[in-house]
A and B are shown apart, each in its own frame.
Chain A
Amino acid sequence: MADAVWLVGVDMTPFGRFPDRDLLDLGSAAALGALSDAGLSIHDVDVLAAGNVFQAASGVGQRLLQQIGQTGIPVFNVVNACATGATALRTAIMAIRAGEAEVALAVGMEQMGKAGLLPTSLDPGWTPGTFTPAGRDGSVMDTGGVLGAAQMPAVFATAGLEYAFRHGGVHFAQFAKVAEKNHAHSTLNPLAQYRKRFTYDEIWAAPMIAFPNNALMCAPTGDGAAAVVVVSGERLASLSDEQRRRAVKISASVLTSDPWSDAGEALPDFNTLTRNAAVAAYEEAGVTPADLDLVELHDCFATAELLHYDNLMLCAPGEAGRFIDEGHPWRDGTLPVNVSGGLLSKGHPVAATGIAGIYEVATHLRGEAGDRQIPGATVGLAHVLGLGSSCGVHILERGAP
């Protein structure tokens, strides 16, 4: 087993829509905030992992360093759909574990504005002047919506109803309860994009997007950034008592992709790679789901959260419906899930999301989460899933060596 890697600094910007700021303003704010939180400077950093999706070809990490300090360190620009932030952190951790760095900075930053439905096609609705077979399926026109549903809300809606087909006790109501919980949780989070509580009836009545996901069951797009500073155990030992007291142990860092599935071309399998990541993470950390005090998981849609109760083994197999019905994932339940408000209400600036989950868990483990603090939290899990697919799971634990 490799030596432990420690989180010593973390920060995030508010999530929302900030047309008066650009991507680098957002990334700089999070990076400088995390360095300040760590009590370190950019001159202490040995490597930068920079996550961004929508400007990924523009050397975002180097452009960020131009804003916060061009020290000449190696930069890894990473993109992995909605798992981009977690991938940046994973990259930073690997650099430390490999002995290439003692201090690493991982940043996830995104500026999307109000992007609406995120298409899975590059050119939805496009019809050419002359039909000519092209691409790996020999298509003659865009097939999105023609050969069934291809937009994100619909893809995750279908996955949710596949779970309902396989297991009892899951109907529209269970998905609505997920949204009710996360919108309620967000009212305590000053960094959330939305902080409005909705009644169950209001959620039930929201405009439908793709059954069962309606408008209050879909994460909003937006702008934001999050950053984390991680160090080796040796470097941690050189820091002050206060820095060590606030350090959070990264007990597991796992990234998976989707193995072959016979249905994968019709409906991406979000379950197997998540379960694989969870199994590996629990083993690496030496903990079980019963040890967790809080979980931040990837609720891009309400249907997704329900799946991941099961995939992350927070409930017994097939019991996700009962898990939400009995109130377990509420902040006062047996295993609080998405006390930040989740993507559904905190927001989902894609590349920032993975590190924002780390921010939330670490802040609770440090006992610094204010009104939304989960009392006595010592172990937490952060999960993200990027369509394509990638899954990142990190397990964090309170306590310095």
Chain B
Amino acid sequence: MITLDSIHKSFRNHTALENLCLKVASGDIYGLLGANGAGKSTTLNLVLGFLQADSGTIHMTHPEHDSTITSNEIGYIPENVQLYPYLSGLENLEYFCTLAGRTYSQIELSNFLTTCGLQREAHEQRTSEYSKGMRQKVGIAIAMAKQAKVYLLDEPASGLDPLASNELSTLLKNLAADGAAILMASHDLFRVRETCTRIGILKRGRLVKEILSNDVTSKELEDIYLNFMKD
């Protein structure tokens, strides 16, 4: 479970986040919506530990035994996954897994990539020849291979074609079904509505609305979002 309690973060005179409270239970996929500069990436960076909050607390705990989740159990997919261009998809995955202290056979690694939708022919190809979507899939495979309990995704569907985007949704749902807590930041209202269980709208660093995605249609979500953005 991810818990953000009364988080405040400012950069010089600019308040990036103000009294942010947010909970993502295991099995939940929480979608953070907001305009550019609303604080979505700042929130993710705080959870990742790349930034320190001015005040407030962030906890990540196992649902079963309430112990703290370590960085080794966090999967992260940036908006633009940059891999080592001189390595193949398989080699990249192997390298990042090794760093995380996990060793898999070539078949297992290949299976991760396939599960993430990367075609088998591309596994041995150098990633310098990959499209953004292909790199994104390797990024997801890296997070998956970690068997993370918490996933943090920054615009994960950005640059993906509709099919790949749909596959990503399915993948995330499967991960959530396995008990992972997923927090993703996105601009894509439709994808968020399709993928997430809960949606939060951030505006100038404040969480202005939380919605259960089952309670709204895509059209209603768009109306709510635009309504908030107008003010």
Q: Do A and B come from one complex?
A: no
